[in-house]
Each structure stands twice: as C-alpha cells, then as structure tokens.
Amino acid sequence: MVAIAKITAKGQTTIPREVRAALHVAAGDLIVWEVSGEGVATVRRVQPLDIEYLRAVGGTLGEWASAADEEAYREL
C-alpha cells in the first residue's frame, strides 16, 4: 500500500484512512515512529501500558532480587 500525505507548516499531517485501517488505529490511540539510519520510518500502533499490572508483576519479582541471587545468576 502506498499513501501520500502533506506535512503542514507546523509539522503535522493526517494519517490517511487506509493507513489508519491497516494499523487499526483511531482517535486517541498511540503510535510510535521508528527511524532507521537509512532514513526509513516505520509507524506502528502502541498498546498503552497498564501501570498497575506492571507494578503487581514487579512486586512478585522481588523475591529473586537478593544478593545471593545476583551472585548465582551473574555469569548467565
């Protein structure tokens, strides 16, 4: 698919309908731009982080954070 969009003087653009449909994005969704060293940009949808879930998971990982664990797994 090829879609062309113009950049405004403020650096803004409209994501063409076909691209929004292909990425499954709508108003309020997050996207990320990744630019390679060759000047190629890739755009993809980003899922928002569930901070409470990540905190809960982080709390369960604390049991493996002792000095003995660090020593045992240092060479992995």
Question: Whole-angstrom Cα distance, residue 71 to residue 19?
Answer: 49
**Mean pLDDT to the nearest integer, 21-42:** 94
Q: Which residues contact 25 (CB under 8 A, 6 or more apart)?
A: 15, 31, 45
Per-residue pLDDT at 75: 83
Per-residue pLDDT at 68: 84
| pTM (two decimals) | 0.59
Average pLDDT, the chain: 88
